[in-house]
Structure 1
Amino acid sequence: MAPVSMILNIFWILCGGLWMAAGWVIAAIIMAITIIGLPWARAAFNIAVYTLLPFGQKAVSRESLTGQSDLGTGVLGLIGNLIWLVLAGWWLALGHIVTAVVLAVTIIGIPFAWAHVKLAGIALWPIGKVIVPA
């Protein structure tokens, strides 16, 4: 990890990153407990790590990365994302948006607010995404 990314990630953790990563972990645990939610739990744990340390990484579509369609990027992925949206996506996205609004009030917090807005989009539609180095 580059030194700039490391410094930004430390500030990120203090500016809502830890709070929202905990939200992702809670969602993942709830999904894992239901057994049926295990595919969503895995995705949520991966995105929790990304939410904790987003600088130096990015989320991209698995289809655009591999050039091939798979379970998570096809019709089943669409259905999975709709189920995720109803069960957990909307409140995780809401948490990211509320945190972004609070951070956007300060000039220093604007870059972190923008990162929370990006993560809100991922919170709504996470299946079929993969985290890669930036």
Structure 2
Amino acid sequence: MFLSLFLGVLLLSNLAYDAQAKVFTKCGLAQELVRLGIAKTFVGNWVCLIEAESGRDTSKEVIKANGGKGLGLFQINSKDWCTFGKPGGKCNAKCEDFLDEELTKDAACAKKIESLLGFRNWEGWTRSCYNREYPSTIVHLCFPSAG
């Protein structure tokens, strides 16, 4: 009895958590980033970075070598940019906020990181996107009338 009750609660908590997470399509992500103020000129680099870092999954959480966690779509490092449980870090944000599908704070923090450290701050971008043609194709693929 206790085991089935425990498993039921566990299942419901996982369903509640999953309802807050999202895995974007490539063009859905590109359009969302533009809506959040990312210039179309750079949207290919952002999509490529996100694909390399999180697989376009807003709930992705990875333990980093520096002891922090890479969080969410942009894999924002908790060691420097946010604090668990309360706003803090260089982005004055709660780390938990980077793990749901609401991307306003995530994008603002990621843009801050990029403006201070550049795309090379993200190993995934350096490995998968730097000096590659792929980022430049995303705008034409996802915004065909953009020319």
TM-score by length of 2: 0.27
Structure number with larger C-alpha Rg: 2
- Report which structure shows greater RCO (CA 8 Å, sep ≥6): 1
Query: TM-score, with normalisation over the residues of structure 1?
Result: 0.28
